[in-house]
Every structure is written in structure tokens, then in C-alpha cells.
A = this chain, B = another copy of it.
Amino acid sequence: MAHDERRLEVLRAIVQDYVSSNDPVGSKALAERHDLGVSPATIRNDMAVLEEQGYITQPHTSAGRVPTDKGYRLFVDRLSAVKPLSMAERKAIERFLDGAVDLHDVLSRSVRLLAQLTRQVAVVQYPTLSRSAVRHLEVVQVAAARLMLILITDTGRVEQRVVDCPVDVDAEAVAELRTLLNSAFNGVRLIDAGDTVPDLVDNAPQHLRGLVATVSATLMETLVEPSEDRLVIGGTANLARGNALDFRGTVRPLLEALEEQVVVLRLMAQVDASTVLVRIGEENAHEALTGASFVSVGYGKADHPLGGLGIVGPTRMDYPGNMAAVRAVARYVGHLLAES
């Protein structure tokens, strides 16, 4: 009992030391730096068991031990207390994010902030369109037979599409169209917008029928296609910091995966806003993220997050600190977007 207890304590000590030193940690150093109340020899026995169970491993015979993915997982699940942010950090978050002028500004400030707090690569997702609602639809005439549709969501996200019409359109029709669209869609969640479109076409006044049909087609693409999820990425310079060996091999595949966006977006799809999601090393299905850990959480309402944000770094990272930072930034972003 007290047995197992201490073994876990040893694991925690190994993780902490390894994270801060980047050197495989040996029994002697452990005994010195932590008050485990036992001698190095005893610790060696515990470490042998931990290795047997797959929580730690030695890079080569006669180097210290290093946590495995499984070891980090246990650490995150059972051994780490939530580390409260320092006052300075809270202040920094406020100072950094206040004064953002628009959505993009909020998100790009957040990404820089996160990168700076965690010294890792930060990733922030734009509010998912499918979970947003229409605040306003604007129609602007660009040319005689060309309109521009502008969608503004309740989170401040703006999407635009150009629509080519088969025939010329007059200004009055544009105005009517605008009123029509707004009364039909105002406040409608984008995920439900698809259902509204057929009604719209049917109920349109005769002389607008054709126009509405054309516009609706484009609108469907914009509103309903789940594609348009975007990411803001920052802090990639942090990848070039420590030993490139932090990641198996090079950072190249990781950078490629980040630029690809798809991989990260898939991960983001799984977050909710109440608990911080941690994926460690091999737990990430995608090959390029093997050797990396991903810490993320949703922002916005707990049950219906608007989007996600998080960080990507080596498995050897400060999980408690990073989890705290990610959560704190997500809360703040959630507030900012809720009130705007």
C-alpha cells in the first residue's frame, strides 16, 4: 500500500525532474532532490518495477530513466495538481487581450499570448461556423450582375462570397433581397440554416424568385458546408528551441501537419469547454504528432463550445502549467466573444 504510494511518488518525481532538466534521471539524483525518505537503492527497486509496468524506460543501459507516454498519462491523470496561475500571469492575460479591436485581433493576440505563456506552439481555432448564429447578412452590389454576400455571425466572424447572377440586378431588388434574407435568417444557427433555404425560395415574391434561388445556392455552400474552419497558429519559433531530439527525428513533419490544419482541426473537434483535453505522444493517431503532446480546451459555453484552442509541444512538457494556461486563456477568450 504505502508501497504503491511511494512508487507513484517516485514516478511524479521522475516526471518533474525530467521535464525541468531534460536529462534522464537516476536514482541518486532523485534521492537528493526529493524527500522520499529512502535511499537510492530502494528507489532503484521501485524504478525497476515502474519500468516493468511500462511507465518509464531507459534510453540505454546505464543512463537514468525517462517517462514513457504511459508514464506521462498517469502523471496527468492522477499525480498533477492544477497549478494556479500567478498573479503576474493573470495580469498579463488581461493586458494582452484587452484592447483587441476585432475577432481576428482577439484570436491572434490569444495565440501569441499562449505561445508566450507556455513557450510552445499555440493553436487557436476560429469560432466554428456550424455552431454560430447569423447576426446579419449583407448584400452588396459589385457589378451589374455580380453580388457580394457577407455573413456576420454572433461571434463577430465575417465570411464573404461573390455571386454571379445570370441577369443584371437593380438596386431595388438588392435592397429587397437584403431585407428578405435578414428576416429569414436573423438569429438562425448556421447548422439549421439549411432547413430554412427551401422555404425562403418558395415564399419569395415572384419577381425575386430567380435571384433568391441563385443566391441561396451560394448561401448553402457558405452556411452549411462544414469546411470553412480556420486556425491561427503561432509560436512556431519555440519548436526551434530545445534539442530537436525532443521530437523523434525532426520538427519538419510536425510543421507540415500544423500547416495542413486538417490534422489539428480534427483534434479540435473533440474538445469541450469544461475539461482540458490532453493527448500524449502515441495517443495522437496522426503520425506526425507521435512524439508530441497536444493540450486543448474549448472556449465559449461549456456544452456548446464556439471553438477550441491549445498548444502542441514535446511530450516532455510542463503539463500542469500548460493546462492551466490553456484553460485560463480559453476562459478569457470565451468572455470576450460572449460580450461582443
The winner among A161, A234, A255 for most chain B CB atoms within 10 A is A255
Q: Which residues of A contact B (CB under 8 A)?
A: 101-104, 112, 135-136, 138, 140, 142, 148, 150, 152, 156, 158-162, 221, 230, 234-237, 239-241, 250-253, 255-256, 259, 340
CB pair B135 A138 closer than 8 Å: no
The A interface is mostly helix, strand or loop, or mixed, namely mixed
- B residues less than 8 Å from A104 (CB atoms): 230
Q: Are A161 and B235 in contact (CB under 8 A)?
A: no
Q: Could you tell me if A138 and B150 are in contact, using CB atoms closer than 8 angstroms?
A: yes
Task: Please state if B158 and A150 are interface contacts (CB–CB under 8 Å).
Answer: yes
In the complex the two chains form, what is the Cα distance from A102 to B158 in whole Å?
11
Q: How far does the alpha carbon of A188 sit from the alpha carbon of B265 in the complex, in Å?
A: 40
Given A234-B259, A255-B236, A255-B240, A156 contacting B150 (CB threshold 8 A): no
In the bound assembly, the distance between CA atoms of A208 and B234 in angstroms comes to 43
Q: Are A159 and B255 in contact (CB under 8 A)?
A: no
Complex CA gap A161/B156 in Å reads: 9
Residue pair B259, A236 in contact (C-beta under 8 Å): yes
Contacts of A239 in B (CB 8 A): 255
User: Are A161 and B241 closer than 8 Å at their CB atoms?
Assistant: no
Contact of A140 among B136, B160, B251, B256 (CB under 8 A): B136
User: Contacts A138-B138, A138-B150, A142-B135: A102 and B237 contacting too (C-beta < 8 A)?
Assistant: no
Are the CB atoms of A150 and B148 closer together than 8 Å? Answer: no
- Provide the residues of chain B in CB contact with A112, threshold 8 Å: 259
A150 touches which of B150, B259, B340 (Cβ 8 Å) = B150
A150 CA / B148 CA spacing, docked (Å): 14
On chain B, the residues within 8 Å of A136 by CB distance are 138, 140, 148
Query: Complex Cα distance A161/B221, Å?
Result: 26
11 contacts between A and B (CB under 8 A): A102-B161, A138-B140, A148-B156, A150-B158, A152-B160, A235-B259, A236-B236, A236-B255, A237-B255, A239-B255, A240-B252
User: Hey, which chain B residues are within 8 Å of A237, CB to CB?
Assistant: 252-253, 255-256, 259
Chain B's nearest CB lies how many Å from the CB of A145? 13
Q: Given A135-B142, A142-B135, A259-B234 in contact, is the A161-B250 Cβ separation under 8 Å? A: no
**Contact A162–B255 (Cβ < 8 Å):** no
For the complex, give the distance between the alpha carbons of A201 and B251 in Å: 55
